[in-house]
Chains A and B, each alone.
Chain A
């Protein structure tokens, strides 16, 4: 399959009062054309920061991208000028966020905000842009699109607003859609609708999706490929079926075990012991070592590297041998 985006050794650090936070620490991953890639992890593990880094939306100060490459269709996004990055944002790569309630500007109409994106990236007349906005709103399943276009965000429900966000993101036919926890803030039934919509759009437009979530249910439904992140590092990556069937990293197994299952009668839901380590006070060796049930002495001493175990299944854990991933 053809690569669309490849991140190599990305480092994004935040400089705070309490010290340096290595929010993204040497992360490499890739997204193929037409594929959905999921990044899974607990909150604060750096998955959103990775996504924001792609569009260079890290607020500076306090954040800064300190190293690595983000190659999109042969160009390193980190080396582009601000002007060039802007022509990619919302056009070739667009993004939707977790909070539909606050992600739309409350003082402008829905139409105004969509048309703004169209006029920015496409050479269309105002009238054509309005038509296009109505069309894309219909596409994301908004009823009475020609009325809603004049509505203000507060007049819509959370689910509708997220549809508007998706419409706004899809209006310029992006090659990559980054969705940062797009369903977390929504009701369960609405979640399913939004996921369906995203799947349908992906089928229709062949857009690649980078989906960020902590919800393994969403992953199972959407993903082709999964990367598991922990404390700013990728600890495991594999195709979706392989990972669910055969999780290698103790953290991944823990995540899967802590997912409630209807058919299995368990007394108590499994929980990974301990807490995500503080970003200022990371363990010397493997970051997961303090919580790991299968920890060994070596885990305390040195951090494991990401290694290929089977075909296309990578893991960063001392439990496994295998060849090192360059």
Chain B
């Protein structure tokens, strides 16, 4: 097990390097002089030249990459030009809001998708299966920004059941339970949008995994033993069907930090999404590079967690 994790960690290194090269390269493609966007246009040529020197912009590309990569490794992620604050601080102050929203949606969709997926599979081609197949396809096909807009229009603007945007009532000083209530109230609509999107995929995935499993020989063996259909499905079937599903859960962990960009933007939820989009619009490249590097690293970590959970739930992997 230890060996397995070590090997996987070592395998991550070249991928991480590749990702950093890719990110660096994309920003090198950006036209224009980074210095001129960073300083006052009226600044003297000498000041600009000094800044260029400081940022190693006169060096060859490869050397520049080396400086940048070392800085990232040292934890020196630079300063956001828009927030006038260290990138790390900016990310840290917004990312947790994203996390709460995504976590709530993740738990909700996991709790709903597994039972629905299993029932759909065991009653393949039934009315239940049809309804949820269509429902899942609606979830996959609905553009989240449009769905969010519709919900805001109907439930926030027209009947004023929920707030239009934000995470709390502006200027609220509530704490404790009152704060929790306020946040939940604001969270409801974005939660619905996010959950519809992820629920659909997970449901379909559980369904097809379960369908695959109930065709297996060992399910026939379990039936031939005289086990009840419920035991056959929920003990022998589900335990196997969940193996790939657990992997998907692991892989969606990094999405907890990044998956809600559009939804957050629509509902003006103060998370990493609106910040990232703002950075896109203001061309705040240091912040963008930081966010992307972090998200990529989290994705790798998520894949690793997925692999480990896979090994934990599947005895065939454990001993290899």
Q: Which of B239-256 contact A (CB under 8 A)?
A: 239-240, 243
Given contacts A102-B216, A103-B218, contact A90 B224 (CB under 8 A): yes
Partner pick for B217 among A90, A99, A152, A168, CB 8 A cutoff: A99
Do A57 and B316 touch (CB < 8 A)?
Answer: no
Indicate whether A55 reaches chain B with its CB closer than 8 angstroms.
yes
* Partner pick for B223 among A57, A108, A121, A155, CB 8 A cutoff: A57
Smallest Cβ-Cβ distance to B214: which chain A residue: A59
A117, CB-defined interface residue at 8 Å = yes
Mark contacts of B86-127 with chain A using CB atoms, 8 A cut-off: 1 yes-contact digit, 0 otherwise: 000000000000000000000000000000000000000000
Give the A-B pair count, Cβ closer than 8 A. Answer: 72
User: Is A88 interfacial (CB 8 A cutoff)?
Assistant: yes
B221 within 8 A of A: yes
Query: Would B218 and A121 count as touching, CB distance under 8 A?
Result: no
- Tell me which of B222, B226, B319 contacts A155 (CB under 8 A): B319
Cα of A117 to Cα of B239 in the assembled complex, Å: 18
Q: Is the interface of B mostly helix, strand, loop or mixed?
A: helix
How extensive is the interface on chain A, given as a class? Answer: 20 to 34
- Interface flag for A87 (CB, 8 Å): yes
Q: Judge whether B224 and A89 touch: CB under 8 Å.
A: yes
- Give chain B's interface residue range (CB within 8 Å of chain A): 20 to 34
Q: Would you call A89 and B223 a contact (CB within 8 A)?
A: yes
Shortest C-beta distance, B281 to chain A (Å), equals 50
- Measured CB to CB, the nearest residue on chain B to A155 is B319
B220 close to A88 (CB less than 8 A) = no
Question: Does any Cβ of B come within 8 Å of A208's Cβ?
Answer: no
Write out the residue numbers on chain A whose beta carbons fall within 8 Å of the beta carbon of B226. Answer: 86-91, 117, 120-121
* Interface status of A42 (Cβ within 8 A of chain B): no
Residues in A with CB closer than 8 Å to B239 are: 105, 107-108
Neighbouring B residues of A299 by C-beta, 8 Å: none
A316 CB-CB contact with B under 8 Å: no
A87-120 toward B: CB 8 Å interface, digit per residue (1/0)?
A: 1111100110101001111111000000011001
- The interface of chain A, by Cβ under 8 A from chain B, is 55, 57, 86-91, 94-95, 97, 99, 102-108, 116-117, 120-121, 152, 154-155, 165, 168
Q: List 21 A-B contacts (CB under 8 A).
A: A57-B224, A86-B228, A88-B226, A89-B226, A90-B224, A97-B217, A102-B217, A105-B218, A105-B221, A105-B240, A106-B240, A106-B314, A107-B240, A107-B315, A120-B225, A120-B227, A121-B226, A152-B319, A154-B319, A155-B319, A168-B221
